[in-house]
Amino acid sequence: MKTLKMMLALVAVAAVAVSCGPKKEAQKVLVLYYSQTSNTQTVAQEIATRLGADIEEIVPVTPYDGDFQATIARCMQEREQGIKPEIQPVAADLAQYDVIFIGYPIWFGTFAPPVAAFLDNVDLSGKKVVPFCTFGSGGLDSSVKDLAAKQPGAELLPGYGVRAARMAAVPREVDQFLKAGGFLEGEFFQPQEFPEQHEVSAEEAAIFDAAVDGYPMLNAKAKTVASRTIPDGVEYLFTAENLPREAAPAADDDKPQMPPTVIQVYVTVAEGEAPVFTQVVR
């Protein structure tokens, strides 16, 4: 009986040691975002819900409420004139937060103007900042560079980006993203580095062509590629040449021909599904 009591006591001590072991210090998290079409809002809400975080929208005083062409026209005019849109004051006390997720759509290769206006009027020094974005083809990398330039005192953590055409993937990808970043506990998939690229085969070129087919912003031809295994499929990283969409006809001597630009295109092929590109890095 005495031996049994001692064994039970040891089990109890072990249980306490497991449940009371070292834990990450609780961090207060805020999700800030600007969204015009609700795509970025969807990602913001997914992050906030999973983390139990506070959430707030960045709201321009004069909304970008026109159609696509009207928004592009206004944005171009603001860029040419160096105008930043006025935004409503953010209600959250940023000083109270350790981690700030900042979300935005990609316009002209970077965060939308309301987010630029927000970043110009705050100091996030000492904060952990996590960018996330939605886009037509890409822009996460370029926007992160711009964010770092505007907030050099912040600790910029890896970000998340998703194409507007792939919003159905958001719940699964955000879950993996938050676990990989240490914000949630649980298993996540860590892909291996891509191997050295090689010249595309006819089969790989067909995969690339199928992935970008119908996307009007790309007129690209794959040159080299590398691939790696991902859950339920394969991910490809293509290096391609992209010709300008408005390239002048060869016979038109009055308009100089624009040279192709080199881009990188990520393509996934899930088992039993058609190829789809996930982002373009220019």
pTM of the model: 0.86
* pLDDT at residue 149 greater than cutoff 90: yes
pLDDT recorded at residue 13: 31
- 157-214 confidence digits (pLDDT tens): 999 999 999 999 999 999 999 999 999 999 999 999 999 999 999 999 999 999 999 9
* pLDDT at residue 219 greater than cutoff 80: yes
- 47-68 confidence digits (pLDDT tens): 999 999 999 999 999 999 878 8
User: Could you tell me which residues come within 8 angstroms of residue 153 by beta carbon, excluding any fewer than 6 positions away?
Assistant: 123, 124, 125, 126
* Mean pLDDT, residues 104-121 taken together: 96
- 259-274 confidence digits (pLDDT tens): 889 999 999 999 999 9
The CA-CA-CA angle for residues 212, 79, 134, to 5°, reads 35
- Contact of 131 with 147, CB cutoff 8 Å: yes
CA gap 211, 16 in Å, rounded: 52
pLDDT recorded at residue 227: 98
* Mean pLDDT, residues 35-47 taken together: 97
pLDDT recorded at residue 188: 97
pLDDT recorded at residue 7: 33
- Contact of 171 with 195, CB cutoff 8 Å: no
**How high does pLDDT run on average in the chain?**
88
- Contact of 48 with 54, CB cutoff 8 Å: yes
The CA-CA-CA angle for residues 162, 147, 110, to 5°, reads 50
